[in-house]
A and B are shown apart, each in its own frame.
Chain A
Amino acid sequence: MAHASATPGFFAPRRNLLAALAGAIGLPDEAVPPSMRRPGKAPLDTALADAASADETASKAAAQPNLTTPPAAVRWLTKATFGVAPTDIAAFNALGATDDARWTAWVEQQLNPAAIGDGACDARIAGAGFTTLAKTLQQLWADHRSQTANYYLRMLPFSEIECMTLIRQTYSQRQLFETMVDFWHDHFSVFGTDYDGGPVFVQFDRDVIRPQSLGNFRTMLESVAKSTTMMYYLDLYSSTRAGPNENFARELFELHTLGAENYGGVLFPDDPSLGIGQLADGSSIRLKYVDNDVYEATSALTGWTLKNGHWQFPAENDGTFIYRDDWHDQYQKYVLNRYFPAYGHQADGTKLFDILAAHPGTAHYVCGKLVRRFVSDAPPPSLVASAVQAFMDNWQAPDQIARVVRVILNSAEFKSAWGTRMRRPAVATVAALRSLGADFTPVPDNTSAWTTTEEFLSRLQQTGNRLFFWPAPNGYPDKQVAWASSGALGMTFRLLARLPEMRAVNGQASSPFLADVVAQTNAVYGGTTATAQNIAGLWCDRLLGYRPEQVYTVAMNFLRQNAAANAQLTIDENWNGPNLSRHYTQSRLRTMVALILCSPEFMRR
């Protein structure tokens, strides 16, 4: 062989090179990097592989880790919200006599978000100085989509929704509702800064996603299809009988309704392998879709477009939806073995949405995703079946989705599942803000200053999980295997470790911290009670909801250094190399908090 790399000589020079490299920047020899491939290290993570291949129907969950688990309230709230804020546990405990009773009450309370007072969060948003959130679609179109010279102004509606969403996720009392908003933004994912969709993104979030997040799937489905943002993102606005564009119709089947699990590929529509079942109304329907259905559905939706100043209709230019019958393919269509007679006009489209929303494949796909989000990467088939039942039984109910969520959250599967999933980077970050009690109102910025918001969003983008930044229409992945990469986890550590250091005005030492760890500690422990064990316990409780032994011990030892666990710490900020227990103690305390935030116990859900 010309390339005999397996010979011992191959590796030696590389060792030397690594040593030289390390030496060049003044590292001692033992700092030579370890090796990713080495004897005794398994090159394949079979458990991750199994979890990745677990599908909707398989319940072979990843090996249940042997954990000491947090209390029920912490487990359940962690899975159904953006994290446990300092006062959440006390509020939860006030809801009943037992955990089960409290949980039932909490779910009912959260499923009626309008009845939950959210004044503090609303006030924070009102005080942020946003200028586009109350604009109508027509105003957004006129003020922002028309901006071709000023990109900041053009994208301002998107930027303000991004900031507002972070505020709501962090501060809203309607935590389950915000969790569902996040779910639907993933389900009907658009790329937020799309050149045409971004300027009207306010309307997509405010008028399309939020009103139906606990509402009716059929209503949301059509509302999404008609929305200016989605129209541009998947090109439906340009689809005419003379020039059909199948982009939207394909994703409508594959991502919005039946899902790839019900895609039969390139088969004839009458292929018997595709199966026959029943819609929610009991009528017969083909179960799987094929490419031909995509083409037929494309025809059914031709003419669904926007008043966007098209050359044929230059006066109609306000960004709103319009159905143009002249652009509609009037021939008959045949979708999922349903015959659409000729001259169905706009009703071709509404009939299509009726079929898709009432289809058992849609119910299974959507409920499977919901169960995965709340319960497990390998959704238990029994629970999916219960959720499907609720979805189908209530397909026309205005609170259809709330009913499905109720079934999932009150299930034994939800209550018992723990630790088989991880928080995605964005959720982990918001959870950190919540549990730190941070005071952070992100706002867009058009100055040359590198603001706290800009740094925060940039770091979130590095994790791969900045809100509304997933470029493809399938939304952010929702499986642990996708986020358990060194890239996502490493950049999440980098962001979480930064949070206790961030200040309201970036780079200004006199500006307050977003979360003042030292002040919060001093408010609880002072004098002789300011010991490493008390303080480490406080922050484990605050950030994790319990004191897992390994994290607590490491945090406590890190904080005390050479002092005793029960000795009083002087929390000041001076160099003291010979006595590490007095070495930059304020920095050390904030870093201890960073360590707890970067623990597996904080990531797990």
Chain B
Amino acid sequence: MTTINRRDFLKGCCAAAATSGLAPTAFAAGFDVQAATDDTLVVLFLRGGADGLSLVPPVGGADRAPYEQARPTLKIPTSGTGAALPLANSGGAWGLHPRASALYSLYQSNHLAVILGAGQVNQPVTRSHFDSQANMEVGMGGQQGSGVGWLTRHLLSAGLPANVPIPSVCMGSITSTSLLSSTETITLGSGSDFRLDTAAWGWNSADNYTPTPPAGFAGFVDVLPWLWNASGDPLERAGAQTLESLKLMRPINYGIYNASSNPSGYQPAGGANYGTGQLGTQMRNIAQMVKAGFGLRVAAVDLGGWDTHDGQGNPANSYDYFGNKVQELSDALGAFYTDLSAGATNYMNKVSVVVMSEFGRRVNENDSGGTDHGYGNVMFALGGAVNGGRTFGTFAGLSSGALFEGADVAVTTDYRRVLSEAMIRRLGNPNVYYAFPGYGGYSPLGIFQGPDLTPSAYDQLFKNGFEAA
């Protein structure tokens, strides 16, 4: 196969398709197009290294004593003010941060699963935020020599239908590394701001005029695409893609419904309250895209502020910085679940959320009331098709002999295993070894519901995607 170049291969495909009357995609060897589902996977990244031992503290068993010893001021209490919420089916070992009440409800209704000891198993271990995030999101087992993210490779190999209005979004100004170099991802900070509406009113756009603009009218929005060549240099292509994305989003009203001021706005179902914060708004925008049926397969969203070297706070006290972050996370995810699961169609049956962070934090708290960079961490999986209400993965323990380098939670669950399971069982894409080069030996933990497919590596012929020309 290595002697055939991609263009010839594709030509062959198309010729064959033309004579046989089959869709060209049926000939794209190496993956099973029928495997693709129309599920959505939301990847929520907690930037800065979230403290897993505060998110999901040990509340009983052998790890409680070393935990209390290592965290004299930061430990989440098991009773009284700020007590951890005990997790069922964990042998009395684990609790949830008390500010995560919405997540706790989802755990109790079996829609939230907790994954223990998660992280990157590859050497060398890095305690740099930026290296660690890049390594995780590039997904090449610690190698960074690629400008292509793991979600980009998933999309490339997912066997999606030929036309999908919005297959992928990244919520933010700057594209997450996991979606780097994807041309079918729209990056946007907020749905309602992502709009060209600032040029002089009379010449901004044809759609400013109702019912119709003057004959032959073309405004700023309509003319700007003439300046950006979709087959030009990388900058011009990016600009053309931006304008295409803006056009795609333009008819959608992302504002919140208001009977008088915005009657065509978005109305979350089930009384879901997303609040006014950035994460809530972004989750609301994602929910709206899911419901609108844009074919959304992948959404990446971030919540920063987890690098708590200093003044982490404690839910037993009035100062509770970390708890504020937890509540922000929990409320946004709770609203998202409520919004998508209420109503006639339970969208959450086809939507899964994975929450991850680049590393956990040092078991011993530092003297600044915070924690330094560590290693193993927790992950969350959330959705109607998640086998929630229990924990997955193993935990090596907090006794000093069990810790990585005597200081950090050991990584006992490869984060790629969790994401691979989401890819196979929810997204119907078996090409997990393509999404995560260098990964092998996948077997499901059982976090997600869905059929198993034989994990595969996707034909290397396509490893760089189709040629632009």
State the Cβ distance, A588 to closest chain B Cβ, in Å. 5
Q: Are A37 and B184 in contact (CB under 8 A)?
A: yes
Q: Measured between alpha carbons, how far is A26 from B211 in the docked complex, in Å?
A: 7
27 A-B pairs whose Cβ atoms sit less than 8 Å apart in the complex:
A6-B25, A10-B38, A13-B293, A42-B466, A43-B156, A239-B367, A246-B309, A260-B128, A263-B128, A264-B124, A266-B127, A463-B173, A472-B129, A484-B234, A485-B242, A486-B238, A490-B242, A493-B196, A494-B195, A494-B196, A495-B198, A497-B196, A580-B216, A588-B202, A594-B200, A600-B236, A603-B235
Evaluate contact between A43 and B125: CB separation under 8 angstroms. Answer: no
Contact with B along A591-605 (1 / 0, CB 8 A): 100110011100110
B174 touches A480 (CB 8 A): no
Pick out which of these stretches binds chain A: B82-90, B159-167, B337-345, B437-445.
B159-167
Determine which of A44, A47, A265, A580 lies in contact with B182 in the assembled complex, contact meaning CB atoms within 8 Å.
A44
B167-185 to A contact mask, C-beta < 8 Å, 1/0? 1101011110000111111
Partner of A1, one of B37, B170, B372: B37
Tell me, in angstroms, the Cα distance from A383 to B108 when the chains sit together: 60
B181 near A46: Cβ-Cβ < 8 Å? yes
Bound Cα distance from A243 to B242, whole angstroms: 49
CB of B251 within 8 A of CB of A487, answer no
Residues of A within 8 A of B450 (CB): 2
Q: Are A31 and B251 closer than 8 Å at their CB atoms? A: yes
The answer to whether A265 touches B310, judged by C-beta atoms less than 8 angstroms apart, is no
Of residues 1 to 50 in A, which have CB atoms within 8 Å of B's CB atoms?
A: 1-6, 10-11, 13-14, 17-18, 21-22, 24-27, 31-39, 41-50
Q: Which among B166, B200, B226, B450 has the highest number of chain A CB atoms within 10 Å?
A: B200
Please state if A491 and B173 are interface contacts (CB–CB under 8 Å).
Answer: yes
Tell me the smallest distance from the CB of A225 to a CB of chain B, in Å. Answer: 16
Q: Which residues on A sit within 8 Å (CB–CB) of B36? A: 3, 5-6
User: Chain B residues in contact with chain A, CB under 8 A?
Assistant: 24-25, 33-39, 47-48, 123-131, 144-148, 152, 155-156, 159-168, 170, 172-175, 180-190, 193-204, 207, 210-211, 214-220, 223-224, 226-229, 232-239, 241-242, 244-253, 264, 292-295, 304-305, 307, 309-310, 350, 366-368, 370, 372-373, 405, 428, 450-451, 464-468
B291 to chain A, nearest CB (A): 10
Q: Shortest Cβ distance from A445 into chain B, in angstroms? A: 21
When distances are taken between beta carbons in the complex, the residues of chain A under 8 Å from B226 are 550, 554
Closest chain A residue, CB of each to CB of B172? A487
Cβ-neighbour of B198 out of A49, A483, A497 (below 8 A): A497
A21 and B219 within 8 A (CB) = no
Q: How long is the Cα–Cα vector from A471 to B174 in the complex, in angstroms?
A: 13
Q: Is the CB of A490 within 8 A of B245?
A: yes
Contacts of B238 in A (CB 8 A): 45, 48, 484-486, 489
Complex Cα–Cα for A67 and B234 (A)? 13
Assembled-state Cα–Cα distance A27/B218 (Å)? 15
CA distance A400 to B239 in the complex (A): 39
A49 to B234, CA, bound (A): 10
**A578 on the B face (CB < 8 A):** yes
Known contacts A14-B165, A33-B247; decide if A486 and B202 are in contact (CB<8 Å). no
| Among B174, B187, B189: residue with most chain A CB under 10 A | B174
What count of chain A residues pass the 8 Å CB interface test? 119
Q: Is A240 an interface residue (CB 8 A)?
A: yes
> How many CB-defined contacts (below 8 Å) exist between A and B?
388
Give the residues in chain B near A491, CB-CB below 8 Å. Answer: 173, 189, 193-194
How would you classify the secondary structure of chain B's contact residues: helix, strand, loop or mixed?
Answer: loop
Q: Does A564 count as interface, using CB distance less than 8 angstroms?
A: no
Q: How far is the CA of A274 from the CA of B437 in the complex (A)?
A: 26
Complex CA gap A600/B228 in Å reads 7
Complex contact A31–B165 (CB within 8 A): no
A511 is an interface residue with CB less than 8 A from chain B: no
Taking the nearest CB of chain B, how far is it from the CB of A368, in angstroms?
15
CB distance from A228 to the nearest CB of B (A): 15
Q: A245-B309, A490-B188, A493-B224 are in contact. Are A51 and B204 (CB under 8 A)?
A: no
Q: Which 4 A-B pairs have the closest CB atoms?
A: A243-B367, A464-B173, A52-B147, A265-B124
Contacts of A34 in B (CB 8 A): 165, 244, 247-248
Pair A235/B197 contact, Cβ less than 8 Å: no
Contacts of B174 in A (CB 8 A): 464, 477, 482-483, 485, 487-488
Contacts A497-B220, A578-B214 known; A1 to B367 CB distance under 8 Å?
no
> Which residues of A sit under 8 angstroms from B236, Cβ to Cβ?
65, 600
A62 an interface residue at 8 Å Cβ cutoff?
yes
Identity of the chain B residue whose Cβ is nearest the Cβ of A234 in the assembled complex: B309
Question: Distance (Å) between the CB of B41 and the closest chain A CB?
Answer: 13
